[in-house]
Amino acid sequence: MDFRLTDEQRMLKETVARFVEKEITPLAPQLDEEEKFAPDVFKAMGELGLFGVSIPQEYGGSDLDFLSCVLVMEEINKGDVGLGTSWGAHTVLCTENIFRNGTEAQRRRYLPGLVTGEKIGALAITEPEAGSDAMSMRTRAEKKGDRYILNGTKMFISNAPVADVFVVYAKTDPEAGPRGITTFIVEDGFPGFTKGRKLDKMGVRSSPTGELIFENCEVPEENVLGQLNRGVDVLMGGLDRERIVFSISPIGAGQAAFELAYRYARERVQFGTPIIGFQAMQEILAEIATELQAGRLMAYWAATRADQGERVSLEASYTKLFCSQVGIRAVSRAMEIFGGYGFMREFPIQRFYRDVKGIEFGAGTSQIQRMIIIRELLKGGSPFPL
């Protein structure tokens, strides 16, 4: 078992870390305060090649492995969870899905623009009445001639207010349950498609989240992604990767929180001594670091299993559940080290505190991850795969 990154992975991680330190970290408090997406930073991410990490070179990507995507996500989240979320929605939820399931014509039409960042992508499953129970979605798509007519509303969609290309799920055969769902590629500007309100969030504020409205929205039949009525295959194929890549978000944020708390503990003096001298403070820091490292390795392990072509539903849910909990606990405990100052908006720790809670919901809540874990275990597979 070799835990070392390849030279290529290490170089990528270091390049992104430098970019984050220079371009993202200084801007993050303002983006949070103003609840603002940063199109210029996003564009610069595209110029750095961060949107095509796992996409083959013929479509403009770098053809690296999935672990590399996880490394990029980890670094971005150290600077800003919102930009990490927008990167993930664009790169993994939309672009990768089109690559994995698209026809050659769809790949040629959509991937080059998405990989450079000229176009922004999003993925729309959730609806006002269908969250964890995604299969109960009400959005319908009816065939009329050479197009599908979509009607319905999507909710909580990352990047919705700024995106150009949407991977959208709708029911094409409502009687058939999960076997009657189809995936479509919808472009901003298709007749009958509008963006609803932008949502006002408690955290992850630099990633714009919104509603989508389909009112007799016309989608050409060549924009069916994957097979008709087999949207669940597209969804399930992508969801495990989505869970793994979003698992590292709270771990990246947790590492940033650790760094802030460690530095503060060395500087803050109480009872005549820097508070890092108190055993209670040392214990918090030691525990945070230990748990974050465990979560980090778990996410790297799950990504490596995905790279090896394994089915990774159990690994993805283990990782998403564990890393969410570890990240939330790490940031919360790091905040304790700041005392009352940590609660003040001028200190960045409170932003990470709000952000890590926000990303726990995406790709299935912690309750849903537990449900998937027990379902996988009841199938009889090993609870401890390696």
Ligand X SMILES: Cc1cc2nc3c(=O)[nH]c(=O)nc-3n(C[C@H](O)[C@H](O)[C@H](O)COP(=O)(O)OP(=O)(O)OC[C@H]3O[C@@H](n4cnc5c(N)ncnc54)[C@H](O)[C@@H]3O)c2cc1C
Which of the residues 12 through 31 are near ligand X (CB under 6 A)?
none
Q: How many residues bind ligand X (CB under 6 A)?
A: 20
With a CB cutoff of 8 Å and minimum separation 6, the contacts of 286 are none
Radius of gyration over every alpha carbon of the chain, rounded to an integer in angstroms: 21
Task: Please report, as a single letter, which amino acid is at residue 75.
Answer: E
Q: Are 145 and 20 in contact (CB under 8 A)?
A: no
Q: Are 276 and 242 in contact (CB under 8 A)?
A: no
Q: Which residue is nearest to ligand X (CB)?
A: 131
Question: Near ligand X by CB under 6 A, which window of 21-29, 108-116, 124-132, 305-313?
Answer: 124-132
Residue 123 in contact with ligand X, rule: CB under 6 A: yes
Going residue by residue from 49 to 78, which x/- string records binding to ligand X, judged by CB under 6 A?
Answer: ------------------------------
Nearer to ligand X, 158 or 317 (CB): 158
Q: Give min distance, CB of 262 to ligand X, in A.
A: 28
Residue 126 in contact with ligand X, rule: CB under 6 A: yes
∠ at Cα 45 (320, 4), nearest 5°? 55
Q: Candidates 262, 278, 347, 361: give the one binding ligand X (CB under 6 A).
A: 361
Q: Candidates 229, 310, 371, 385: give the one binding ligand X (CB under 6 A).
A: 371
Q: Give min distance, CB of 126 to ligand X, in A.
A: 3
Cα(71)–Cα(86) distance, integer angstroms: 16
Residue 275 in contact with ligand X, rule: CB under 6 A: no
Nearer to ligand X, 65 or 80 (CB): 80
Look up 58 and say whether it is catalytic.
no
The length of the chain, given as a count of residues: 386
Cα(89)–Cα(96) distance, integer angstroms: 10
Cα(298)–Cα(318) distance, integer angstroms: 8
With a CB cutoff of 8 Å and minimum separation 6, the contacts of 299 are 70, 74, 244, 247, 248, 251, 319, 323
Name the active-site residue from 242, 315, 360, 376: 242
Cα(308)–Cα(302) distance, integer angstroms: 10
Cα(52)–Cα(347) distance, integer angstroms: 34
Q: Candidates 74, 193, 362, 372: give the one binding ligand X (CB under 6 A).
A: 362
Which of the residues 130 through 169 are near ligand X (CB under 6 A)?
131-132, 156-158
Residue 92 in contact with ligand X, rule: CB under 6 A: no
How many other C-beta atoms can be found within 10 angstroms of the C-beta atom of residue 7? 8
Q: Candidates 24, 76, 89, 111: give the one binding ligand X (CB under 6 A).
A: 89
The Cα diameter of the chain in Å comes to 79
Q: Give min distance, CB of 155 to ligand X, in A.
A: 7
Residue 196 in contact with ligand X, rule: CB under 6 A: no
Binding site for ligand X (CB under 6 A): 89, 123-126, 131-132, 156-158, 204, 209, 358, 361-362, 364-365, 367-368, 371
Catalytic residues: 242
